[in-house]
Amino acid sequence: MGSDHLKRKQESIVVLVIALLIILMAGIIVFLTGASTNDRSITGSDPSVKYYSQPITILTQTAPDSGGRAAYVKMTFVLSFNQRRHLQASEANDAQIRSLISSEMNRYSPDALLEPLMLDQMQASIQSILTEDMGLESNGVFLDRITVQ
């Protein structure tokens, strides 16, 4: 009778130790997962700042190059904003923004659109046009895709 009671007590102690180990391991996993997702150096951005973006695809014909060759160009840009009101303003003035971007694209020859330096220059120019002409403060204008035919 005494040994039966001792076995039950040992079994309950073993079950209690296993349960505590499981709880401890779960706590460690939750802590490590939370620490890795809250580390700003991993994500590279401040989670308190919201970014709003709008993709814009434009199909246009570029200016002819020195050989008289013009090309059809399809470009997809992503406009990035810090404030939602700038995103809403860009959506409300979509046709005007497309027109401004298209006229800027038409200034470049098809061969120039294949050079990274010229693409960077065009992106900076589009961003300054949006800021100065439209009053939209953007984080940047990013080129997502380009097709030249």
Least confident range of 9-13, 115-119, 124-128, 145-149? 145-149
* H or E stretch at 72: strand 72-81
- Identify the three-state secondary structure at position 19: helix
Q: Would you say how long the chain is, in residues?
A: 149
Q: How far is CA 52 from the centre of its chain?
A: 9
In the predicted model, what is the mean pLDDT of the chain? 79
* pLDDT score, position 131: 86
Interacting residues of 135 by C-beta distance below 8 A, sequence separation 6+? 89
pLDDT tens by residue, 2-36: 678 888 888 899 999 999 999 999 888 887 776 55
